[in-house]
Chain A
Amino acid sequence: MTAEARLGQVANYVDERTGAAAWMKKNLQKVFPDHWSFLLGEVALYSFVILLLSGTFLTFWFDPSQREVIYEGSYAPLEGIKMSAAYASTLHISFEVRGGLLMRQIHHWAALIFMAAIVAHLMRVFFTGAFRKPREGNWIIGVGLLTLGIVEGFLGYSLPDDLLSGTGIRIAEAIIQAIPVVGSYLAYFAFGGAFPGEAFIPRIYTVHVLLLPGAFLALITAHLMLVWYQKHTQYPGPGRTEKNVVGYPLMPVYMAKAGGFFFIVFGVIAFLSAVASINPIWLYGPYTPGQISAGSQPDWYMGWLDGLVRMAPPLESHFFGYTVSWNILIPGLIVPGILFTGMALYPFIESWITGDKREHHLLDRPRNAPNRTALGAMSITFMIVALINGGNDLIATHFDLSINQIMWGTRFGIFILPPIAFVVTKRLCLSLQRADRELVLHGRETGRLLRLPHGEFVEVHEPISPEKAYLLTSHEQAPALELPEVDRRGVKRAGAIRNKIRSRMSVAHSEAIPKVSANELKEIEH
Chain B
Amino acid sequence: MSNEIEAIKDPGLPAHVHRKADHDPVAAKRAERQVAILFGISALGTVLLIVSYIFIPDDVFIFIPVMGNQNAHQLGLGLGMAISLFFIGMGAIHWAKTLMPDQEVIAHRHEFRSPESDRKEFVQAVKDGAGAAGLGRRSLIKRSLGAALGLSALSPILLLRDLGPLPGNELEKTTWKSGTHLVTDPGNRRIKASDLEVGAVAQVLPEIEDPEHRPLSDIAKDAVLLIRLRPDEFNLDADRLAMTHEGIIAFSKICSHMGCAVALYEQQTKHLLCPCHQSTFDVTRAAKVIFGPAARPLPQLDITVDGEGYLVARNPFSEPVGPSFWERDSR
Answer whether A and B are interacting partners. Answer: yes
Residue numbers of A with Cβ under 8 A of B are 29-31, 34, 95, 98-99, 101-102, 105, 134, 167, 170-171, 173-175, 177-185, 187-197, 199, 230-231, 238-249, 252-253, 256-257, 259-268, 270-271, 273-275, 287-296, 306, 309-316, 318, 321-325, 327-328, 331, 359, 361, 392-393, 403-404, 407, 440, 466-467, 469-470, 473-474, 477, 479, 514, 516-519, 521
Residue-wise interface mask of B (111-136) relative to A, using a CB-CB cutoff of 8 A (1 in contact, 0 not):
11100000000000000000000000
What's the Cα separation between A325 and B279 when bound, in Å?
Answer: 15
Q: List 24 A-B contacts (CB under 8 A).
A: A31-B105, A98-B73, A99-B77, A167-B260, A171-B260, A189-B164, A195-B217, A195-B220, A196-B216, A252-B100, A267-B88, A274-B79, A275-B75, A306-B277, A310-B292, A314-B293, A314-B295, A316-B295, A322-B327, A323-B327, A466-B9, A467-B11, A479-B1, A516-B8
B86 close to A264 (CB less than 8 A)? yes
Also in contact, A192 and B164, with CB within 8 A (given A239-B12, A322-B326, A517-B7):
yes
Taking the complex as formed, is B203 at the interface, i.e. its CB lies under 8 A from any CB of chain A? yes
Within the complex, what minimum Cβ distance (angstroms) separates B46 from chain A? Answer: 12
B105 close to A249 (CB less than 8 A)? yes
A242, A268, A318: which contacts B86 (Cβ < 8 A)?
A268
**Interface-facing stretch out of B21-29, B165-173, B192-200, B228-236:** B165-173
Taking the complex as formed, is B183 at the interface, i.e. its CB lies under 8 A from any CB of chain A? no
Residue-wise interface mask of B (67-105) relative to A, using a CB-CB cutoff of 8 A (1 in contact, 0 not):
100000111011101111111111111011100111011
For B5, B90, B97, B253, the residue with the greatest tally of chain A CB atoms inside 10 Å of its CB is B5
Within the complex, what minimum Cβ distance (angstroms) separates B291 from chain A? Answer: 6
B293 close to A311 (CB less than 8 A)? yes
Other than the given A466-B8, A514-B1, 15 more pairs (CB < 8 A) read A34-B104, A167-B260, A174-B259, A185-B167, A194-B217, A199-B164, A257-B93, A267-B84, A271-B78, A288-B219, A289-B261, A292-B261, A328-B323, A470-B10, A518-B5
Taking the complex as formed, is B308 at the interface, i.e. its CB lies under 8 A from any CB of chain A? no
B164 close to A518 (CB less than 8 A)? no
A327 close to B10 (CB less than 8 A)? no
A289 close to B220 (CB less than 8 A)? yes
Also in contact, A102 and B13, with CB within 8 A (given A260-B90, A263-B86):
no
B164 close to A256 (CB less than 8 A)? no
What's the Cα separation between A184 and B1 when bound, in Å?
Answer: 61
What's the Cα separation between A288 and B186 when bound, in Å?
Answer: 12
A323 close to B203 (CB less than 8 A)? no
For B1, B14, B221, B253, the residue with the greatest tally of chain A CB atoms inside 10 Å of its CB is B1
Taking the complex as formed, is B189 at the interface, i.e. its CB lies under 8 A from any CB of chain A? no
What's the Cα separation between A246 and B5 when bound, in Å?
Answer: 28
Also in contact, A521 and B258, with CB within 8 A (given A99-B53, A257-B93):
no
For B104, B185, B296, the residue with the greatest tally of chain A CB atoms inside 10 Å of its CB is B104
Taking the complex as formed, is B108 at the interface, i.e. its CB lies under 8 A from any CB of chain A? yes
What's the Cα separation between A526 and B192 when bound, in Å?
Answer: 100
Also in contact, A264 and B89, with CB within 8 A (given A31-B106, A316-B295):
yes
List the A side residues contacting B254 at CB < 8 Å: 289
Also in contact, A246 and B219, with CB within 8 A (given A239-B12, A404-B291):
no
Smallest Cβ-Cβ distance to A31: which chain B residue: B107
B78 close to A273 (CB less than 8 A)? yes
List the B side residues contacting A359 at CB < 8 Å: 111-113
What's the Cα separation between A250 and B113 when bound, in Å?
Answer: 26
A29, A244, A256, A289: which contacts B100 (Cβ < 8 A)?
A256
B82 close to A268 (CB less than 8 A)? yes
Taking the complex as formed, is B318 at the interface, i.e. its CB lies under 8 A from any CB of chain A? no
List the B side residues contacting A190 at CB < 8 Å: 163-164
List the A side residues contacting B153 at CB < 8 Å: none
Taking the complex as formed, is B294 at the interface, i.e. its CB lies under 8 A from any CB of chain A? yes
List the A side residues contacting B109 at CB < 8 Å: 231, 242-245, 361
For B6, B7, B258, the residue with the greatest tally of chain A CB atoms inside 10 Å of its CB is B258
List the A side residues contacting B104 at CB < 8 Å: 34, 246-248
Residue-wise interface mask of B (314-331) relative to A, using a CB-CB cutoff of 8 A (1 in contact, 0 not):
000000001111111110
